Amino acid sequence: MQPMRLQSIDQFLIQPPQPENLAGFRRFLLEFWYFGIKEVRACLFVGLFFASILIVPRAGLFGLPRYDVLFVIALLIQGGMVWSKLETVDELKAVTLFHMVGFALEVFKVSGQIQSWAYPEFGYTKIWGVPLFSGFMYASIGSYIIQAWRLFDLRIRHHPPYWMAALIGILIYVNFFTHHYIGDYRWYMAACALGLYARSSVVFRPLDRDRSMPLLLSFILIGFFIWLAENMGTFFGIWRYPNQLGAWSTVHLGKWSSWSLLVIMTFTIVAHLKHIKRHIHIAE
């Protein structure tokens, strides 16, 4: 699909036809429809990448192991996003940072001393036991937030001061490492985030009217859908937790809270992009 075609679709979603005399249940249905379409479009990177997980055979393609094929596909998707101008170079820098942060976490978690999960298959693009495509799973979260920001015309009301948000984001990330040695302070982090973002709300526009919801609720909902995607990844054997080595079982529900906290950290990075800062109201 040509870049101009993609941009025209986005423009239609951002400025859809204005409905006349629409109220009640009909308005709800139309707004819900546009909300769903915009969500699907914002998940373009996520959708294409996880579709490739479903499609690529376990044995790989063209003599390449599955992990390497997924890495090539992820590079093509990311390159296509920039080529089609669905992501800017500045946004690509943020997405690359997500990739690096996620990959570093993966290397630590699969290390021999920790072994929180494992990538059991062979791959030429595995470094320290972690396939390079894994970082794109984290980058896709940032890509989703960036795309949703534009499509929904997101605005944040009563956002905490940036230094406070950055501090809690750093502490959340550090706790993913340190809880193996000095205790898990996840719920303390969650309590701090609850107080920090208690007044924060996100304003979005599904159709022609602004709607709002608590920002914390959006973090929790995104974390839930990532947890569902993680279940899909483990079901197809892309990676496995120790309790899934014999037979597959659902990922522990506690991972939902971990993903929600990671979303807060990701959101903090996105919030520092110049064009997004203009739509964030800092609480006084």
Express as a percent the part of the chain with pLDDT over 90. 25
pLDDT (0 to 100) of residue 284? 55
What SS3 class is residue 179? helix
The span from the first CA to the last CA of the chain, in angstroms, equals 45
pLDDT mean across residues, the chain: 85
Percentage above 70 pLDDT, the chain: 93
Measured distance CA(176)–CA(178) in Å, rounded = 6
Residues 45, 121 contacting (CB under 8 angstroms): no
Residue 180, classed as helix, strand or coil, is helix
pLDDT of residue 140: 86
> What pLDDT shows up at residue 10?
73
Instruction: Indicate the range of 59-68, 213-222, 233-242 predicted with least confidence.
Output: 233-242
pLDDT of residue 16: 78
Instruction: Let me know: does 131 contact 125? Beta carbons within 8 Å.
Output: yes
Lowest mean pLDDT among 41-45, 88-92, 136-140, 235-239: 235-239
Average pLDDT over residues 202-230: 90
Poorest-pLDDT segment among 27-31, 99-103, 112-116: 112-116
Residue extents of the structural domains in the chain: 3-13+26-282
Distance CA 223, CA 217 (A): 10
Q: Are 109 and 116 in contact (CB under 8 A)?
A: yes
Query: Sign of the CA dihedral 175, 180, 183, 186?
Result: positive
Q: Crossing angle, helix 44-55 and helix 24-42, to 10 degrees? A: 60
pLDDT band at 71 (very low <50, low <70, confident <90, very high): very high
Give residue 179's pLDDT.
Answer: 86
For range 272-280, the mean pLDDT: 71
